[in-house]
Structure formats: structure tokens, C-alpha cells
Amino acid sequence: MRSAGSALAVAILLIARRVSALDNGVARLPVLGYNAWNAFQCNVDEDLILQTANQMVALGLKDAGYNFINLDDCWALKNRSDTGDLVPDPAKFPDGISGLVTKLAALGFKTGIYSDSGWFTCAGYPGSWANEKRDLELFNEWGISLLKYDNCNIPFDNITRQNEIGRYQVMQKAIADVAEESGKPPIIFSLCEWGWQQVWLWGKTIGQSWRTTGDISPQWSSLASIINFNSFITMATDFYGRNDMDMLQLGNGDLTIDEAKAHFTAWALMKSTLLIGTDMRNVSQDVVDILTNSEILAINQDPVVGTSISPFRWGFNPDWTSDSLHPAQYWSGPTQDGVVFMLVNVADSPATLSFNLTESPWIRAGRQYSVRDLWSHTDEGIAVRSFSRDDVPPHGVVALLLKDAGDEPDALMPQCAVWYQCVTQDGIHVGG
Ligand code: GAL
């Protein structure tokens, strides 16, 4: 009979295997690229996509790392071919998707495509249900590198005999089988089922990213609610598997520059996939400057630390309060270069945002830190014990990288920045 100890070891191993990310060699880091849905919905064609790609090169976005161009819904005809294949709409894509992939590759881009795990896509085009392997073979033949897989128009239960996990696993298997048969790398699998069924608990066993919410819109209320929701599930994100906070709305709607900066900072530091979603033919320089902030992008693409920032204090609300208009304000996380902080002013008027350094678990007590401002790109001197920033604009953000700068000054009072449980060697509580 197996000992209790070894049974426990097996159980721990199984749990560890169940929750560990699907490392099939692709998308260790967040995907950076473009998706036309937020700006154009179904109104896309090859000309638009190629103009977009050329603009991405001309504006320096390709060089900044945005190297995927992803098609969304509406690229196909409404009916499959006589032999059962998906057919690219020839009016939109005269050279087919494979022709587009070749042209994008010549500009240095990989191509992503969209399908659905039901009968039809959300816009009513054919879905991949019961055609998973066939469709994957076609995508692979066309040279596709990423599949966004949606959740509309699901067949009845007596047909699927599956829950969502099961429907997405069928496509996962098709991806693995096609990779093995073709000898090409697996297609990156981007789950889009809007956070149903607690996807953050199992998405990482099936794909490399998973949407956590319904569709983003270009208003602060939408951004705030996505930040709020994701603030409670940051632990799900790491290398090879991440919460996808949805495509970027920078440049769209009525977002202010401060809101756009907060949007980009939160998405990047929470290690979301970053897909630009604005019309690149008339994007403003301000938006391009935000999207190409190399100090923020470097953290999103950190090759050593794959985890997300997390809130250490909610600020506007008591800790762990869910408030879709007023998410957590004080966030931090480790990076390969130091501890990154994000402060968000969720109020509608300017505010002072302050914190004690050791509120963040990654800061060492008794040490001082150099402060780098990741938006002004300036060094802000040395922080001892605390940091404060006045006049953070409404919905504005502060992003800081703190690096250890040695012991804090001698004889600093009080002896402990946080007095709770802090005592002399004799057990005397002298402060607080
Ligand atoms: C939604 C999805 C959007 C977009 C749209 C296309 O379900 O969340 O991101 O892909 O379908 O119809």
C-alpha cells in the first residue's frame, strides 16, 4: 500500500500539473500587435489591413515590438465551400488570407485569425464547431500564427455534451495535432469567452490568454470596470498564460490623454496582451508616444518575471472592495529591474497619492530606494520610507520603478515604518 506521504506527494504533483501553464513553446510573453475590431468592426479588407501594417512600420510601432496583425470577425463568406472549408470573402481579401499573410510577413508581421467555438461567430459567419481540425489545418496552411476563439452561438447541450472547457479543449487538441503533423510551431490560442465559467482558473491549461470580461468600450467607465474586475484575479497571470483585458482603446472615443496613459499602464503592467485598436491612418502622435513608452513596454515584456502587478491597497475604498467605477489605486509587483508601482487616481478631481514603501511586499524594510518615473522618464531621487505625488489628474496614473539604493539613513525614527508587531529585543512595544 502506498504511504500517506507519497500519496500526498502525488496529489500535490497532480494539483501542480493541473494549474501550471500550458508551455508548448509559444507566447511565453504577452502578444503585442494590432486588431481592427475596436476601430472598424466588420468593415475590414486587405487594403485597410496593409495600410495599417505600413503605418505600424512608419510610426515605429513595429520596431517597438508590435509584431502581430490579427483579423477579427467577418473575414469569411457566410457559407463554407462545397467541400466544407471556410472561404475568405474574395471582395475583402482578393488574394485570400494566405496572400495577406505573405504580404504581412514581408513587412515583418505575423498574422492572427478569428473563429468561434459555436455554430456561428458573433457576427453570424460560420463557426468552427464540429470543424475544428479542418479549420485549424486551413489556418496552418495559410501561415496563421494566432487564433482568437469566441463563444457565440453555442450548440444545444444534447449536441455538445460539453461545458466550455470541453469545447475549447477540442480546438486545443486540433492545434496540438496540427502542429505535430505539420512540424510548425503550435498556433497561439487566445480564448475569448468573456470571463465566463471562471476561465482564469483553467484557461492556462488550454491556451495562452483568456479574455476576462465582456467587450471593452472607449470610456473611462469601461476601463475602470475592467481594472476593477481583474484586480481580484491577478494571480492567474504568468508566463505562457495570462488574463486578457481586451484590445486597447487608446485613440478611440473620448478618452483623455491621462485616461489613455492609465489604460496603457494598467494593461501593460498587468501583463495583458496588448493589441492596438485604433485607426492607424490618423492616429495622434500623443497616442503613438504612449504606445511606444519603452520603459512600460519593457515591463510587459519582462523575460525574467512573468507575473502581474497586484493591488496592495485599494485607497478610495476599503481593501478588497469591488467598485466598477473606483478600482484599487495602489499597485506593485516585482520586475527584473526592481519593484514597479502603479498609482491610479480613480477620483474625478486631482488627488495626492501616497504610500509607505513597505506596504508593497517586494520592498525591503530598512532600505531606501531610487525612484524612476516611467512616464516623465526622469529619476526622482531617493525615497526613504514613503513616496507621495501631488496633483495626480483625474483618472491619471503614476508609474514608478524603485531600485534598492542601500540601507536607509542611521537612527531613522520611528524604528519601524510599520509598527504592528514591531518590538525591542526585550519585547517592549515602543512605537506606533
Ligand atoms: C465578441 C468579442 C469581440 C469581437 C466580436 C466579434 O464576442 O468579444 O472582441 O471579437 O465578438 O464579433
Q: What's the pLDDT tens digit per position in 144-187?
A: 999 999 999 999 999 999 999 999 999 999 999 999 999 999 99
Ligand 1 centroid from CA 324, angstroms: 21
Buried b (16+ CB within 10 A) or exposed e, 373-386: ebbeeeeeeebebe
Q: What's the pLDDT tens digit per position in 227-244?
A: 999 999 999 999 999 999
Residue tagged active-site, from 63, 95, 215, 289? 215
Which cell goes with 48? 485597410
- The amino acid at residue 42 is C
pLDDT, residue 432, reads 55
pLDDT, residue 237, reads 98
Split at pLDDT 50, 70, 90, the class of 16 is very low
Query: In this structure, which residue's CA is closest to atom 3 in ligand 1?
Result: 215
Residue-level length of the chain: 432
Cα three-residue angle 177-178-179, rounded to 5 degrees: 90
Structural domains in the chain, CATH included, are 32-301 (3.20.20.70), 310-407 (2.60.40.1180)
Residue 225: phi and psi, rounded to 5, are -70, -35
Q: What's the pLDDT tens digit per position in 291-349?
A: 999 999 999 999 999 999 999 999 999 999 999 999 999 999 999 999 999 999 999 99
| Sheet strands (E) in 159-212 | 188-191, 209-211
Q: What percent of the chain has pLDDT over 90?
A: 91
CB 349 within 8 A of CB 321: no
User: Residue 79: pLDDT above 50?
Assistant: yes
User: Residue 207: pLDDT above 90?
Assistant: yes
CB 277 within 8 A of CB 244: no
pLDDT, residue 18, reads 44
User: Residue 1: pLDDT above 70?
Assistant: no
- 150: annotated active-site residue: yes
Q: Is the CB of 244 under 6 A from ligand 1?
A: no
pTM above 0.85, yes or no: yes
pLDDT, residue 431, reads 67
pLDDT, residue 311, reads 98
Q: How many Cβ atoms are within 10 Å of 201's Cβ, its own excluded?
A: 14
What 3-state DSSP class applies to 51?
helix
pLDDT, residue 2, reads 42
- 215: annotated active-site residue: yes
Any residues with CB less than 8 A from the CB of 15 and at least 6 apart, and which?
none
For residues 96 and 298, what is the distance between their CA atoms, to the nearest angstrom?
35
